[in-house]
Amino acid sequence: NAVPPLLSVHPSRALVDEKFSVLVENLPPGCPVTIRSLYQSEDKDFWEAYGHYVSNHQGTVSVSEDISLGGTYTGKEAMGLLWSMRPIPGSRKGLRLRKKDTCAPMLVTISVYSGHEDVRDQAPLASALVERWYMAPGVQRIEITEKGVRGTLFLPPGPGPFPAMLDLWGGGGGLQEYRAALLACRGFISLALEYFNTNDAKPKGRRTPTVCFVQTAFEIIRSHPQAVPDRVGIIGLSYGTLMTLSLAAECPTIKPSCIVCIGNAHSKFLEEKVLKLAFLWGDVGNIDCPMLLINGTDDQNWPTVEVASDIIKMMREAGKESLVTRLDYPDAGHLIEPPFSPHFRAANFMLHGTKKKVMVLWGGKTKPHADAQEDSWKKILSFLQLHLYGAPSLKAKI
């Protein structure tokens, strides 16, 4: 009897920002096969990616070494089975894949099928289950509900002390934890903050409830017993970049050690009434810490590249241009997320302060966007390492 094909994935359990290798053995030489990933999201939607391969003279296919001839990705792409994932045909429109429960892994099934045709109704020749985690062993997750602040704190394994990060998402509301969880795996205490949908009454005598609320969150993380109080940074995406710049420029009590802004938004384009943000754009030059600006040139949501140029111009006028590092990624869109996250050119979005769901165009082409996510994450970690740990190498290796 012929030995049945064998599919193996190494490592089969890893953090979401780590690469894996997929190997299929015991195939006939020159055999056309399809390797497919399948994931059922927490919303019960199915996502898939697949590549078409031909086995070599030894009857093996290595996804990280061999070329995909077609499918949801082509070429030599070790992680194409993750970053090119898309909802299976017939799914609901406008889906976006985001992990809600960071304490449980993404369980992805990787299978090999005979041929290059549609394999969805075929039985696989072999399969393997892969665990992709946002939380490493030993990372602690703590819900925070003090001083009107609602968020989730992630602590790295070990006694510390650790530098810390405040993590601010965009205007969609809700609590997004997955980036903060991953930062904790890399040695940074991280607080993911829910700063939209907060029902607290407006504090008396304060400028704006939102900025004041985020300021309180910064103070909570800075005073944590395991945090190094003078080594706290802020990372923001989309509307979160405005909040990040506002805090760094205008709050005298907040002196972040560094800031990271992804998909830079601009206060001139925002309705102040909706977002309650009285941020004076001209104050950007007050910022005194290193900043990393990350943008996609195909961003269809904000004119982010122009905004970054504006920020640099104001920092130059203040004599502080040397504090700014700028990364513009060709053909990447607005939502530059952790590595190997699927790309969404458009997705559903809940308008803040309403129950209205709209389809938003984020932009980006899948392959360049995936490359931007992988490269920018490495550069974010190096930037944080340099300015929060003061060392160029990544110590927090789990």
Q: Which residues are catalytic?
A: 238, 299, 334
| Residue 18 near residue 123 (C-beta atoms within 8 A) | no
Peptide bond into 225 cis (omega under 30): no
E-state strands within 318-370: 324-329, 346-350, 357-361
**Alpha helix stretches (DSSP H) within 88-238:** 178-185, 209-222
The strand pair at 13-15 and 126-133 is best described as: parallel
| Residue 376 near residue 384 (C-beta atoms within 8 A) | no
| Residue 301 near residue 265 (C-beta atoms within 8 A) | no
Token readout for 27 is: 């195939």
CB atoms within 10 A of CB 159: 7
18 φ/ψ angles, rounded to the nearest 5 degrees: -105, 145
Secondary element (H or E) of residue 317: helix 304-317
Instruction: List Cβ neighbours of 2 (8 Å cut-off, separation of 6 or more).
Output: 26
| Residue 15 near residue 154 (C-beta atoms within 8 A) | no
The strand pair at 106-114 and 61-62 is best described as: unpaired
- Integer CA distances (angstroms), 266 to 279, 347, 353, in order: 10, 21, 20
371 φ/ψ angles, rounded to the nearest 5 degrees: -60, -40
- Alpha carbon distance 96, 15 (integer Å): 20
